[in-house]
Amino acid sequence: MELLEIDEAAAFDFFAEHDWTDGLPIIPPTPERVAAMLAGADAQEDEILGSVPERKRTVTAGMAAVNAVMAGCRPEYFPIVLTALRAMLDPAWNANGVLTSTGGSATCIIVSGPLAGKIGMNAKSNLFGPGNRANATIGRAARLVARNVIGARTSVQDESCMATPAKYTFCFAEDDPPAPWQSLRQQLGFDAGDTIVCVMASEGPRQLANFTNGTPEGVLRSMLSLITPPGSVIVGKGGQGVVVLGPEHQFIIREQGWSQRDIQEFLVRESRVTKEQIEAAGVLLEKPGDHHYLPIGEDGKYPTFHGPDDILVVTAGGHGAGWSSYIPSFVPAKHSVIVTRRVREAGEALPDCGPDSCEIDISAILAKSVNAGTENV
């Protein structure tokens, strides 16, 4: 990594003039701060987190640490930053497409697990809003890496037409629900003691207000009004989404015996839309061969989601009259999917690889392959 010498008092001006920030002030990434950030996750500077082969770009832990310092992260946040970046670099997330698209997606990072509480993340009142350093800076660090390392800068390799303020930072924690509901990590097959990160290329959140209906179906039907507007890009096309249930709504649904799976199945079934609904909103269906809408079903409707696993059900938010939120993916799942990774904390031992593999004599294998090469020549 390249070191520069600059005037400390003019550091922000220097970074802004070089187009190395999101427009907000940064913390100068000095060698001491970057080393402390790497130590926060026991990471090595040259450790490769992943690549975007379409752009011939590789992201290292060192460059992630530089940008995490700039974003204002504390070193104890860094295991979550690295995990989010590894998810973003999974080919299924499609970083090249997601970060170039005119759709202008936010990078929605959801953290479920004990590490979120340990580092002080906000899962309650104002969780999408300002005021929590961990939420704000983890999300910002991911976006600064996208911008500075992967090249997602305006009119460089980011062609967003509108984008969203959530693109500055969009990271929050789950507030574990009471039994019998399960945390997000348990719903996805991880242990209660794990911490996981789910990353979705998303739109900004849409807020649900329903203060009057005390039935699960009533609450979820109002949620559907946010899920199925035909002007929304994934409607009828097989997208993904996150339903964030505030305390009042999750209480109504849970206390009346619905499981989280019931919610997913209800929303998948009821979010199917007809051609007439789509066209009545002024959206013209594309021609056969323009493969955007999914095939119409036997019920004469287009599916907005392929199946229940395409909706994450998360409990979070503060007490109030009856607020929840819906976060849609910014494109259908065939272009990008939610990627989940387990966080490896600093100091966590690597899995025991067992005697079989540890006792292999690598030098003997190398010698053999060199000999084989010589014979072929």
Footprint of other proteins on this chain (CB under 8 A)?
1-9, 11, 15, 18, 20, 28-31, 34, 54-58, 63, 66-67, 70, 94, 96-98, 100-103, 144, 148-151, 155-160, 286-287, 289-292, 331, 334-336
Can you tell me whether residue 267 is helix, strand or coil?
Answer: helix
Give me the helix-helix angle, 216-227 and 247-255, nearest 10°. 130
Q: Shortest approach of other proteins to residue 52 CB, angstroms?
A: 10
CB atoms within 10 A of CB 18: 10
Q: Shortest approach of other proteins to residue 71 CB, angstroms?
A: 10
- CA separation, residue 156 to residues 70, 152, 153, 316 (Å): 21, 7, 5, 36
Nearer residue to other proteins within complex by CB, 2 or 298: 2
Q: Shortest approach of other proteins to residue 375 CB, angstroms?
A: 30
Pairing, β 57-60 against β 48-52: antiparallel
Nearer residue to other proteins within complex by CB, 98 or 327: 98
Q: Which residues contact 146 (CB under 8 A, 6 or more apart)?
A: 88, 95, 99, 107, 152
Nearer residue to other proteins within complex by CB, 124 or 334: 334
Q: Shortest approach of other proteins to residue 374 CB, angstroms?
A: 31
**Residues 44-52: contacts with CB within 8 Å, 24+ apart?**
45/1, 49/82, 49/85, 49/86, 49/89, 50/85, 50/86, 50/88, 50/89, 50/90, 51/89, 52/89, 52/95, 52/96, 52/150
Whole-angstrom distance, CA of residue 250 vs CA of residue 323: 10
Nearer residue to other proteins within complex by CB, 71 or 243: 71
Q: Shortest approach of other proteins to residue 101 CB, angstroms?
A: 4
Q: Shortest approach of other proteins to residue 199 CB, angstroms?
A: 16
Degrees (nearest 5) of the Cα angle 224, 228, 230?
Answer: 160
Nearer residue to other proteins within complex by CB, 56 or 358: 56
DSSP letters spanning 337-359: --EEEEPPPTTPPPPP-HHHHHT
R_g of the chain computed on alpha carbons? 23
Q: Shortest approach of other proteins to residue 67 CB, angstroms?
A: 6
* Whether the Cβ atoms of residue 300 and residue 274 lie closer than 8 Å to each other: yes
Nearer residue to other proteins within complex by CB, 151 or 218: 151
Q: Which two tokens stand for residue 349?
A: 């031992």
Nearer residue to other proteins within complex by CB, 77 or 172: 77
Can you tell me whether residue 187 is helix, strand or coil?
Answer: helix
Q: Shortest approach of other proteins to residue 202 CB, angstroms?
A: 15
Q: Shortest approach of other proteins to residue 172 CB, angstroms?
A: 25
Nearer residue to other proteins within complex by CB, 35 or 224: 35
- CA separation, residue 23 to residues 144, 174, 179 (Å): 11, 29, 43
Nearer residue to other proteins within complex by CB, 257 or 289: 289
Q: Shortest approach of other proteins to residue 34 CB, angstroms?
A: 6
Nearer residue to other proteins within complex by CB, 255 or 286: 286
Q: Which two tokens stand for residue 127?
A: 């969780």
The sheet carrying 323-328 orders its strands as 206-209, 323-328, 241-245, 311-315
Given CA atoms 184, 185, 186, 187 in this order, what sign does their dihedral have? positive
